Copies of this chain bind each other. A is one copy, B any other.
Amino acid sequence: MIDFSLSSELADLRDRTAAFVRDGVIPHEREVDAHGELPAETLAALRAQAREAGLYAPHVQKEWGGLGLDMRAISIVFEEAGYSLLGPLALNCSAPDEGNMHLLELVATEAQKEKYLRPLVAGTIRSCFSMTEPPPGAGADASMLRTRAERRGDRWVINGDKWYITGADGAAFTICMALTGDPKSAGQSGGRARHATMFLVDAGTPGYRVVRRIPSLDSGAPGGHCAVEFRDCEVGDEAVLGAVGEGFAYAQLRLAPARLTHCMRWLGAARRALDVAADYANTRESFGQPLGRHQMAQAMLADSAIEIQAARLLIWHAAWMLDTGADARHETSMAKVFVAETVNRVIDRALQLTGSHGVSDELPLAALYRNARPFRIYDGPSEVHRIVIARNVLKAAAIASAERHVHSAEGGEA
């Protein structure tokens, strides 16, 4: 039955995560460099503290060193982690590693898990996910994939360019998505049918190269957003992640929760922005009274509070669906659009409320403003999700209409 209560264990975990972020992580925010990265030793220290506090890697199964939470519990904890842009790094649950860990848990061989998953969870290495390509390759439309892995003897030879690969600089390995189908059919439309495979490619493999960091509006995760190339990059069968030809299916497998975990973290960031704005409104005077007494400020605060609450509930609902094993693509798409747009609106309002302080480095809002903007684009731009959602709506309406007709036909016979 509909219930929004948390178990006392989960409420406790939430509170401890919140306290850790507030007292342990936020004080280090000023130490990030121009790329948004913490000094390595600081990060290591934070992770050690998180591990000790029993907060580390909440999304990873216990056998691999995590907390083994389900998606609903992850929703609670990731929101708290996201309250600081550094929180997910400290808990080792930030993108793209978090999604890669999830995928490895699901489809990697034991050997691959030992080689890649274990150190990733431990935090001794980083990873990246090589999917997006420069035009005319795969972007919002994944079916436009052009990177190709060809069978040569018992080896695979990968060729192609990747673009905006988050975390690539310094990553120990990448998961590379490449076409492996019959090249003769590759020119045809109908991306679904196209045959792609994921490969685990170690840094240092000849032919695999991080070309450059792409300067971006957001400071990016550790390792930046990079242009990456594969030039006759040769790997063996042990590099195949899961089954040959299942690349697109795995991408969905990775994305369904990854899309939602992004929402969870960013929801925490939105709450941070609202709190910063509310603190400012409580203390700063303007036109003879505290800013928070001005109705235009109140309207902004209220809208942000409402939208954050709605965003949270959309996340929880989709998480619950994933926990029940249901197909939650419709629900994660709805959550993605709403949360991404809410987060941007909430941060924008907080900036507006805090004025020149908001756009300066005195408050964390300018950084949030820059970093949150791409979230309306990655993991599927809002527009693509809207198309998917609308198609579901139309299909459901068509089915209901058909049923009504059957029903009235039967009624007519009676």
Contacts and interface: CB of A to CB of B under 8 A. Distances in A.
Interface of A: 1-7, 10, 22-23, 34, 72, 75, 132, 135-136, 139-141, 144, 163-164, 189, 214-218, 225, 274-275, 278-279, 281-282, 284-288, 292, 294-299, 301-306, 309-311, 313-314, 316-317, 319-321, 324, 331, 334, 337-338, 351-352, 355-362, 366, 369-370, 373-374, 376-378, 381-383, 385-387, 389-394, 396-398, 400-401, 404, 407, 411
Contact of A139 (B10, B286, B362): B286
Given A278-B393, A306-B337, 16 more contacts: A2-B5, A4-B321, A34-B34, A140-B286, A278-B394, A279-B401, A282-B394, A282-B398, A295-B383, A296-B298, A299-B383, A299-B390, A301-B389, A310-B313, A313-B316, A356-B378
B314 A275 contact: no
A96 to B, nearest CB: 14
B356 A163 contact: yes
A357 B137 CA distance: 13
A217 B352 contact: no
A113 to B, nearest CB: 29
Contacts of A317: 4, 309, 313
A34 B215 CA distance: 11
Nearest to A134: B357
A394 B75 CA distance: 25
A285 B1 contact: no
Nearest to A336: B306
B310 A390 contact: no
B390 A306 contact: no
